[in-house]
Amino acid sequence: MTDITHNQRIVAQFTRWAKPFAELPIHAQADAMARSLAACALEPTLNVLDVACGPGILACAMAPHARQVTGIDITPAMIAQAQVRQAAVGLHNLAWHIGDATTLPFAAQSFDRVTTRYSLHHMQDPAAVLREMKRVCRPGGRIIVIDATPSPETWDGYDAMERLRDPSHTSALPLDELRRMGKDAGLSEAVVEAYRLEAQLETLSDEKDMAALTAMFDADIASGQDRIGVGAWRTPEGIRFHFPVSILAWHIA
């Protein structure tokens, strides 16, 4: 169960960030998107659900390759951005819902593919979300999770940095933890993939958090210890780093 306070934090954070998030080019980065679409193994006959779809970037990228794509997100401002994006790309096989990933308002076995990207690290109970994704996915279907996966050694440092940047961050699970979660849910792995997403700190953070974040990154850069685990470096424009992202796809038996 997700508690109300946490959901309110999520909605507050992503209402403020809906438009900048939707417009940030790294969220539609071509190589990352191509890898994500490949893991989804889409076909024109398939019904797809994108959980915590945000501004519909993945949903709109999947729609040309599927029969129908449904996106659901708890933040109304994100769904408003998804509708803007759908109108801009001119696709008609998309539908949007406002709702909670822990209690999806869909019947069991309603979808052939169930995806979620960059979302589990906002959940209080990611295993419950994965079980719910499994419930709505039909036998023979596929579940695809795409998320930041710090190494076990940098897990604490990575989470500390993310919580400073975004108070709705819970924890980004290392890849082995995600794999274990899939196994515990009775899922069998189809794809395990990774990519690194290069980002600019100053485009991802509120001004009020920048001093503390900069100090944290600079300590890593100066010591060369990489306690955050993102390989940060300085440029004349500011601090750059890589998000370590994994793609995990599971079959539903």
Stretch of 34-42, 113-121, 192-200, 237-245 contacting ligand SAM, by CB under 6 A: 113-121
Question: Which is it for the CA torsion 38, 36, 138, 46, positive or negative?
Answer: negative
Q: Judged by CB under 6 A, does residue 118 bind ligand SAM?
A: yes
Question: Considering beta carbons, is residue 46 or 74 the nearer one to ligand SAM?
Answer: 74
Contact window for ligand SAM (CB under 6 A) among 73-81, 106-114, 188-196, 235-243: 73-81
Residue identified by tokens 């996915």 is 137
Among 39, 74, 145, 181, binds ligand SAM (CB under 6 A): 74
d(CA 135, CA 139): 10
Nearest distance from C-beta of residue 224 to ligand SAM, angstroms: 29
User: Rounded to an integer, what is the distance from CA 228 to the centroid of its chain?
Assistant: 19
For 4, list phi and psi in degrees, rounded to 5: -60, -40
Window 79-108: residues binding ligand SAM (CB under 6 A): 100-102
For the chain, helix, strand, coil in percent to 5 are: 45, 25, 30
Residue 61 token pair? 């990228």
Residue 73 token pair: 């997100």
Among 117, 134, 142, 179, binds ligand SAM (CB under 6 A): 117
Please work out the total of residues on this chain that contact ligand SAM, with binding judged by CB under 6 A. 21
- 230 in the Ramachandran plot: left (φ > 0), alpha (ψ -120 to 50) or beta? alpha
> Smallest distance, Å, CB 119 to ligand SAM?
4
- Residues near ligand SAM, by CB under 6 A: 2, 10, 14, 27, 52-54, 57-58, 73-75, 78, 100-102, 117-119, 122-123
